[in-house]
A and B are shown apart, each in its own frame.
Chain A
């Protein structure tokens, strides 16, 4: 039996907190995600089921300056993390975890993809993103310029982010989602992996979710 919640546990408190902060700039959150149902039981926790959100076409630029669209995630299991390169603690911790997860999963599956989306496109240029991505793993994909684009992954998934003290100086900080999102080969937003992140936990969660989806489809 799956335990279901009518709303994502994450979104309500996050929305309340962020609405209070929304007097600043760069604030965005989608309400659409709250329509999804989030499975809470141990084996399939983080799974959006039933009715996972279908990701629509989008157009972004990757860390090499190439177009990155829906076709680039179709047929693959994509793990997506939202962050920025001026974040020296939480973001590299998560990226290191994902490098570890990727090195493990790539031994078993051919269609695994790790995507880092910057919520700070103004400072995270293509060059910066390219160097950042390859530091963790040559196979990772970095997306820049993303949040501001209509239908972007950031908007479709409904990622909260907020710029702190942006006007005061160039060393501003960005509050952002610490979760990792999973999109399945049919380009459905299938799961949200909650922090704190550990490779073993993510690998186990992913295998359970993949098994469940493979049986359903």
Chain B
């Protein structure tokens, strides 16, 4: 039993190490990840983030996940002819040596069906997965929205 526990322990250490390693060698910085504080009864929350690709290759964000939400999707808000709509994007391309900012009124992450309401100060972790298999775990900050667009 002890041996198995030991193995699991080593496995967990290894798993963590590989995640940290992935973050270090991925060449992608994920920053300013924040979730807008929202009324406790809403079924969809929104997150904004900055993705910086330091590599010389195009990176493609293919999924974002968290056990706190039933699903997370990449959307873009569009206001055309004074009608607001959202379009879903299955991936987000970050060109080599470029930064993509997801901002209010534009690209954003839709966080569906939160298991519990989030409050200011909460720091849920989101997992960002890229097309090359790299996974990066990032802590989000729950913050109050400012009324200005940017």
Contact = CB atoms under 8 A, between A and B. Distances in A.
Interface of A: 10, 13-14, 17-18, 83, 85-93, 96-97, 99-100, 123, 127-128, 131-132, 134-135, 160, 164, 171, 173, 175-179, 194-196, 198-199
A89 B77 contact: yes
CB-based closest 10 A-B pairs: A88-B46, A135-B39, A178-B84, A175-B85, A13-B81, A96-B147, A131-B41, A90-B84, A132-B39, A89-B77
Contacts of B25: none
Given A14-B82, A89-B75, A131-B40, 5 more contacts: A90-B84, A92-B38, A128-B42, A171-B112, A195-B79
B79 A131 contact: no
Query: Most chain-B CB neighbours within 10 Å: which of A14, A86, A88, A90?
Result: A88
Contacts, number: 102
A93 B45 contact: no
Contacts of B44: 86-88, 171
B45 A90 contact: no
B39 A160 contact: no
Contacts of A83: 84
Given A88-B110, A92-B38, A199 B147 contact: yes
Contacts of B82: 10, 14, 177-179, 194-195
B108 interface: yes
Contacts of B39: 85, 131-132, 134-135
23 contacts: A13-B81, A14-B81, A17-B83, A86-B42, A87-B86, A88-B44, A89-B46, A89-B86, A90-B105, A93-B104, A93-B149, A96-B147, A131-B40, A131-B41, A132-B41, A132-B42, A160-B83, A171-B43, A171-B44, A171-B112, A177-B83, A195-B84, A196-B79
Contacts of A92: 36, 38, 46, 145
Nearest to B106: A89
A52 to B, nearest CB: 18
Contacts of A131: 39-41
Contacts of B75: 89
Interface residues of B, number: 32
B80 interface: yes
A100 B149 CA distance: 13
Interface in B36-57: 36, 38-46
A100 to B, nearest CB: 5
B81 A17 contact: yes
A194 B44 CA distance: 25
A128 B83 contact: no
B2 interface: no
A137 to B, nearest CB: 12
A189 B83 CA distance: 19
B46 A85 contact: no
Contacts of A87: 44, 84, 86
Interface string B51-84: 0000000000000000000010001010111111
A194 B38 CA distance: 25
Contacts of A195: 79, 82, 84
Contacts of A97: 147
A88 B36 contact: yes
Contacts of A132: 39, 41-42
Contact of A196 (B36, B42, B105): B105
